[in-house]
Structure 1
Amino acid sequence: MDGKRLKLISGLVSEATGLRIRPDDYPNLLKAASERARLSNISVEDYIDLIRSPLFDRKEKEALKALLSVPESFFFRDKGQFDLIRARILPEIVEKRRAERRLSLWSAGCSSGEEPYSLAILVREALPDYKSWDITILGTDIREDLLEKARKGLYGEWSFRTVEPEAKAAWFRRSGAYWEIDPSIREMVEFRKADLIGGDCPEGMDFILCRNVFIYYSKKAIAGMAGRLVSALAPGGYLFTGHGEFYGVKVEGLKTMTFPESVAYMKALPEEAFSVRPASGAPERAPARAAKLAQKGLNRSGAPPVAGGPGGTASRAEAAGPLILAASVYADAGELKKASECLLKALDADKFSLEPYFLLAQIAEESGDVEDAKRWLKKALYVNPSFVPAYLELASIYDNEGLIERAERMRESALSILSSMPPDAPIEHYEQTNAGELSGFLKKTAEGGRKK
């Protein structure tokens, strides 16, 4: 089947399911469509017609999506996130719920169950008296075969690649060639088939873990699923995703919380009660704080430094800094117009400041102005030709526009820069990702493209 035909099929599947089908996914797409056609006793061409028709129902969509996703899970995946959950997030939730002694956690897209069982182990460690609590730990996935495996609680060595021997000995026991989860942990978790695109969602969740699910979907589909997750959270509840999975997607009702280990999202409380971190005195309203920061920057930029004069560069940066921070506060509050105004004033103060260009690109993309987003990203690269996030954002935009060769050139440029960096060097704007990891991902993507 030629590339044009596969592109047509990918468009139909993407429109029907919300999945994001890249060119390097075409071989798997053809394989999945062929398998579903075989099971339905029809030809691939007839299956394509089925996708176009009203007969392409929810059950068939779930079956096709299951074949197009590549599940991989293991216990305590992403050490930084689980360290944060263990040390800070879970104790905070437990303290908040101590009076009613109720706790609700959800692993959305749980695959074969390692993730919700990891959460159950953390709950047991945090609550020695867990039997006196009303605890709900829910694991959901669209694949019934994976859920059945999860219910059995039997795992091979590969699922334990980040588990300390002491934890493995405490919560698992040998069962032939496998390790079996402790029955008391297995009993804490309920597994259920569910699709984040549609169907019922639980309510009042204190914590949701939804990692490496959004990577398969378009930004439009991600926004819809994220909205359902926000609705499922209790006020003040936390959502964790895979790193960068909300990048370029506007999600209402969440506050971004940045910790050394990871980024988390909190469902906003009423503003007068919301506080990101403990502080002395009453929390200041975001727009008021932003206005003060903006005025601070404007005061400093009132008398521009003489070019080449002593401290000129520092003075420009000092003027731009509060304006950029004000823009971030406004953006978090959803006031994008005021955020843009602050960023433009920051560029008036310091036209060589990189951050305003990148933030203006993000705001433009969130507002649906792709051309403006590209313009700001290109200006960011003019200021700093080694700024990797700008190359990758441009690549994503070009992908969505069907400009595959341009997208590949952007990734090649990013890969060239990453290859010259120390492998453990952090990448700005990509939390918990270093140069080596990102370089490996881009190489794998490039290799997949060459195999087409």
Structure 2
Amino acid sequence: MLFFSAAMAFSQLILPEHWLYPFIELVNERTGIRIREQDYSEFARKIGQRMTKLRMPRPEDYYAHLTGLGEQSHQEWQELTVILTNIESYFFRDHGQFQLLEQVLLPRLIAAKRRERQLRIWSAGCSTGEEPYSLAILLRQLLAHEPGWQYEVLGTDINPMVLERARQGYYPQWSLRSLSPVIQQRYFQPCGEGFQLDQQIRAMVQFESFNLAKPMARQMAIADIDLIVCRNVFIYFSLDAITTALGTFAQALGPHGYLVTGHAELYGQDLSAFQSHLFPESVIYQRRDHHPVHSPIPLPMPVIPEPRTRPAPRVVLPVATASPMPPPTVADLLTEAEFCLQQKNYQRSRQKIEAVLAQDGRNFAAHLLKAQLEANAGQYEAAIATCQTALKLEPLSIAIYYLMAQIAEEQGDNEGAKQLFKKIIYLEPTAILAYYELSQLYEQEGNPSRGQKMRQTALALLQQLPPQSRVDGRLDLTVQDLIEQIDPANLLSE
């Protein structure tokens, strides 16, 4: 049996089946990348692609090349890692999490660190730099009127090639798609066919190569970090690699430091070194006080010069003095309620939600979980009433509108569902799933031309994304999966 792809060039070499598992194990051992069973064919094709490029027709020759100790082997790992991982990103990706960073986490860190006036942030798995630069822009905005601060953003990735692109700070329009015109004008200058990032923002970020699947003791020492952001990285990792990375983060974080990950990436992991806090936008992890921490030598922290001119007014929402951390008991109750809901233990989930609401009747996360619980139990009227209560607390919550649209569809109210999906698109113009759902609704009501327009919009957005990236951080649905659902004849190729 041979593994191949329909999109593969005729001249490309094909990896025999009996060589598949040795390469899978080698990649996992070196990089921590987990190759899922549904990705075997694509993985085999990519190995064949590299064999063709290097003119190595025998798999054993390419395997020996990868296990070599010389510079050529090191260079090949860089090339292979590029095609095995998704390097697609954009500025301020995941509006909800960045809103949480801007309005809650960073203000709390600033308040806690105001005496020493130092902040250190680590963007782990930073790819081409959009995430750490977004964090640097947030810091500049939040501290625009507070002189004397020292702050550093560290961006790391296993792939030195993407780090070099990140250092250049040059991006296409697509990477800026979620920026407001004011932010884009302030920090980016048109340059050729793309945009050049402001030099002062670039100076705030230091880029280094780091393999999260390997213990920190074998690499550069990182310590006293106030905030680690590691999103959409663990979806590629094996369980052992995730465990290693979490150990590194526990060592690197300073007292009470925060860890932000992608949605639902750490379910089932040993999080004993962290305290979980559930916010409407995301679950956040905080280093426990009692966890032992090694003290490696920290990286040098550059002093960022203040602008000579008076800073422009902030365009982010004003933030009041940081409030104290929510009582751990409430956060624990919410985390357990969400877990029980996923396990369909509705009775226990309801008990935990009611306990939270008894303490804080305006807790948005509890109302959202309650609405999901009621909808899953078929109590649609109660779920809608709870959604309305939640919307009074967070009127721009896309998660609530998605839930209400699903309920409307279950009740046969297609017109109501359409209006809700349109609301989602208004709030998030690149909401691919909303376009797709609308296309299905228009088809059902006998309006194929309108449905086709929605499908074409969804496809246009999908085709600008890497095939193996996920459509939504909460779903195990890749871009290629959804494209094949929308249009089976429209297969993506490399």
TM-score for the superposition, normalised by structure 1:
0.62
Residue 159 (structure 1) aligns with: 175
Structure 1: distance between partners of 2:407 and 2:42 = 29
Structure 2: distance between partners of 1:18 and 1:246 = 15
Residue 242 (structure 1) aligns with: 262
Residue 265 (structure 1) aligns with: 285
State the SS of the aligned residue for 1:85.
Answer: helix
Structure 1 residue aligned with 2:48, among 8, 30, 34? 34
Residue 138 (structure 2) aligns with: 122
Residue 240 (structure 2) aligns with: 220
Relative to total residues, which structure has the larger helix share, 1 or 2?
1
Please state how far the C-alpha of 1:185 moved relative to its aligned partner: 0.7
Q: Check the 8 A contact 1:110/1:139 in 2, yes or no.
A: yes
Structure 1 residue aligned with 2:347, among 340, 348, 353? 353
Structure 2: distance between partners of 1:194 and 1:352 = 42
State the SS of the aligned residue for 1:74.
Answer: coil
Residue 111 (structure 2) aligns with: 95
Please state how far the C-alpha of 1:261 moved relative to its aligned partner: 1.8
Are 1:144 and 2:160 matched, yes or no?
Answer: yes
Q: 1:143 to 1:53 in 2, by over 3 A?
A: closer
Q: 1:251 to 1:434 in 2, by over 3 A?
A: farther
Residue 38 (structure 2) aligns with: 24
Structure 1: distance between partners of 2:484 and 2:81 = 20
Q: 1:167 to 1:279 in 2, by over 3 A?
A: closer
Structure 1: distance between partners of 2:51 and 2:221 = 31
Please state how far the C-alpha of 1:252 moved relative to its aligned partner: 2.7
Please state how far the C-alpha of 1:418 moved relative to its aligned partner: 10
Q: Check the 8 A contact 2:188/2:195 in 1, yes or no.
A: yes
Are 1:195 and 2:231 matched, yes or no?
Answer: no
Q: Check the 8 A contact 1:258/1:264 in 2, yes or no.
A: yes
State the SS of the aligned residue for 1:120.
Answer: helix
Residue 441 (structure 1) aligns with: 477
Q: 1:66 to 1:418 in 2, by over 3 A?
A: farther
1:269-308 alignment to 2 at 5 Å? 269-270=289-290, 278=324
Q: Check the 8 A contact 1:253/1:268 in 2, yes or no.
A: yes
Please state how far the C-alpha of 1:150 moved relative to its aligned partner: 1.0
1:394-433 alignment to 2 at 5 Å? none
How many equivalent pairs are there?
333
Structure 2 residue aligned with 1:45, among 59, 66, 77? 59
Q: Check the 8 A contact 1:137/1:189 in 2, yes or no.
A: yes
Please state how far the C-alpha of 1:171 moved relative to its aligned partner: 1.1
Q: Check the 8 A contact 2:243/2:269 in 1, yes or no.
A: yes
Please state how far the C-alpha of 1:54 moved relative to its aligned partner: 7.6
Q: 1:68 to 1:153 in 2, by over 3 A?
A: same
Structure 1: distance between partners of 2:484 and 2:244 = 29
Residue 377 (structure 1) aligns with: none
Residue 13 (structure 1) aligns with: 26
For each residue in 1:241-290, what CA deviation from the matched residue of structure 2 results, as whole angstroms up to 9, or x when unmatched? 1111112222231111111122211111249xxxxx8489xx78x7xx99
Q: Give structure 1 stretches of 5+ with no counterpart.
A: 272-276, 291-323, 333-342, 344-349, 357-382, 387-416, 426-431
For each residue in 1:393-448, what CA deviation from the matched residue of structure 2 results, as whole angstroms up to 9, or x when unmatched? xxxxxxxxxxxxxxxxxxxxxxxx999666979xxxxxx99996567927854877
Structure 2: distance between partners of 1:85 and 1:174 = 28
Residue 2 (structure 2) aligns with: 2
Letter in 1 for 2:274: L
Residue 360 (structure 1) aligns with: none
1:167-206 alignment to 2 at 5 Å? 167-198=183-214, 199-206=219-226
Q: Check the 8 A contact 2:119/2:151 in 1, yes or no.
A: yes
Q: Check the 8 A contact 2:78/2:161 in 1, yes or no.
A: no
Please state how far the C-alpha of 1:23 moved relative to its aligned partner: 2.9
Letter in 1 for 2:37: P
Letter in 1 for 2:286: M
Q: Check the 8 A contact 1:34/1:44 in 2, yes or no.
A: no
Q: Identity over aligned residues, as a percent?
A: 33
Residue 76 (structure 1) aligns with: 92
Are 1:255 and 2:248 matched, yes or no?
Answer: no
For each residue in 1:356-392, what CA deviation from the matched residue of structure 2 results, as whole angstroms up to 9, or x when unmatched? 9xxxxxxxxxxxxxxxxxxxxxxxxxx9799xxxxxx
Structure 1: distance between partners of 2:65 and 2:33 = 14
Structure 1: distance between partners of 2:184 and 2:158 = 28
Please state how far the C-alpha of 1:58 moved relative to its aligned partner: 7.2
1:355-374 alignment to 2 at 5 Å? 355=349
The two structures, once aligned, show a CA RMSD in angstroms of 4.4
